Structure formats: structure tokens, C-alpha cells
Amino acid sequence: MNEVAYAKINLALHVRRRRDDGYHELETLFAFVDDGDRLTATPTQADALTTHGEFAAKIDDPFGNIVAKALSALPHGKGWAVTLEKRLPVAAGLGGGSADAGAIFRMVERAHDLPEDWQTRAAKLGADVPACVLSRPCVGTGTGTDLAQVSDNDLAGCPVLLVNPRLPVPTGPVFAAWDRVDRGPMPTGSLRTIALEGRNDLEAPAIAICPTIADVLFALGDTEPFLARMSGSGATCFALYDSLVDRDAAAAQIATNHPDWWQMPGKLR
């Protein structure tokens, strides 16, 4: 079986408060790009994981990788030999590991069906994993694991450009640097409305830790998208365009001006 681990972006990310359990109360709008890591699974006698691709070297312990943990969390026969092509940067705000786990869940669903408590099992692997299993637009609340689908997806097929300066930004320090100011709830409405009227409360603390993120946002803004924003806790930023021509021109401009930055063009699912 083959599956794409679709890159996750947060069209909006509102941090409301820090909870007593140490986690943060969030309101976020998840969206997914039609590209990402690639996984292949073949039935075998025991689970095995092989990694390759541009960012495979960033995975320190393949056997402790979230893909291996996802396999352990689900019944899927005797075993699967999984090959992971790591095309998304690590610690990048794209839910790369969570997207990989989500792809495993979808492959298990195709082969054996998922257990009724799949969402609980997914949440134990990471807050973004349940959304990444669905890989379609949804609103996440709580720690991001309580999901509600968005009925008005007026951004389906929207051209998007992802850009990362090849600098990892760990999530923990960014949340720790949040100023604890509640700037209000996430708006309601269609995807486009929520995205345009929403914000990412982690942008400022992430920029304080990794100032290059501000350079990425400025460079994307210079390509005249209708929205440019940081995803998750960074450092990847995204830009949304009204046409493929505009997106491709932006990709060419970024590649010329910043050839050392990683980028991925795509469309929203």
C-alpha cells in the first residue's frame, strides 16, 4: 500500500490559556496540503521501518519514530515493512511526524478497519495525530484533539506555497515563550473567513526564538498572496494565492532570492 502523509498547516491558531495539566487550551483551524511525506507498507513477518529522503537524517531513532509507535498502537496483522520517504522538514510546524502516523492509520483502515477507539489511540501519539488521520479541514479545540469538521470548505483546491528556512524550531520552547495573553476566540464561518480573520498566537514567540521566520513572512508577503502566516509553532510559513500562476511565480521568486530555503508548492485539500 502507498499513502501520502499530507502536510498539516494551521490556518489559524489561537492560544486561550495554559491549563492546570501544563498543556494549553487551543482553538485551531487545521488544513492539509495535497503533498507531503510518502509511505509504502508491505505485509511481512514483523514490523520494520526504513527511512530515506532529504530529511531522513533528522530522525535520530527510527525505531522510536512515531510511525513505529503508530504500528504498535493498531492491530494490522503479523507485521508491516514500512518505507518512509521523509520529504517534510522536522520540527517545522507541519505536523510531519503526526502526518506520518496519520498515514499509517489510514492504511490500517484500508486493510483491516480501525478500532472504535482509534481517536483515543491517535491522541496518545500526539495532539495533531487525530486531525492528521482525517487529513481534511477541521477545527481543533482543547489541546487540539477535539475535532469538528468544517462544512463550508471554500478553500478546497486553493494554491499554497510552503517555505521553511531549514531551521528547526522545537514546539516546547515556543509555547513556553507565549505571553499568556488571551487575545480572543477564533472566528467562525467558512475556511476563508476564519483564516483571514484569525491569527497565529505563536508567531511572536517563535520569531523571538528564530528571527528568520520574520524574513520568511516578509518574503512571502512580497509575492502578494491573499494570506501569509506561520504554521503551528514554526518555522514553516505558508502563503495562499488566488491562482496557480501567482503561486508558481511566487515559488520562482523565493527560489531566486533565497535558494537555500526549502519550499513545497501544492493545493489545499
pLDDT surpasses 70 at 61: no
Closest by CA to 2, choosing from 46, 38, 31, is: 38
Q: Give residue 151's pLDDT.
A: 85
The residue from 37, 47, 128, 201 that is catalytic is 128
Q: Cα(128)–Cα(93) distance, rounded to whole angstroms?
A: 10
Tens of pLDDT, residue by residue over 207-220, are 999 999 999 999 99
* 110 close to 76: Cβ distance less than 8 angstroms: no
pLDDT surpasses 60 at 62: no
The residue-averaged pLDDT of 17-40 equals 94
Percent of the residues in the chain that have a pLDDT greater than 90, as a whole number? 91
The residue from 8, 35, 47, 246 that is catalytic is 8
Using omega within 30 degrees of 0 as the cis cutoff, is the peptide bond preceding 235 cis?
A: yes
Confidence of residue 89 (pLDDT cuts 50, 70, 90): very high
5 alpha-carbon distance from chain centroid: 10
Q: What is the pTM of this model?
A: 0.95
Task: For residue 264, give Cα distances in angstroms to 3, 211, 238, 252.
Answer: 18, 21, 10, 11
The more confident residue out of 21 and 187 is 187
Closest by CA to 269, choosing from 32, 51, 7, is: 32
pLDDT surpasses 90 at 124: yes
The residue-averaged pLDDT of 29-43 equals 97
Q: Fill in the amino acid letter for 238.
A: F
pLDDT surpasses 80 at 91: yes
Beta bridge partners of 238: 162, 229
DSSP string over 226-255: SEEEE-TTSS-EEEE-SSHHHHHHHHHHHH
The residue-averaged pLDDT of 105-129 equals 96
Q: At what angle do helices 66-73 and 118-125 cross, to 10 degrees?
A: 150
Q: Fill in the amino acid letter for 255.
A: A
Q: Fill in the amino acid letter for 52.
A: H
179 is catalytic: no
pLDDT surpasses 80 at 265: yes
Domains and CATH numbers, the chain: 2-149 (3.30.230.10), 159-267 (3.30.70.890)
What is the bridge-based pairing of β-strands 48-52 and 146-149?
A: unpaired
35 is catalytic: no
Where are the strands (E) in 143-241, listed by range? 146-149, 159-164, 227-230, 237-240
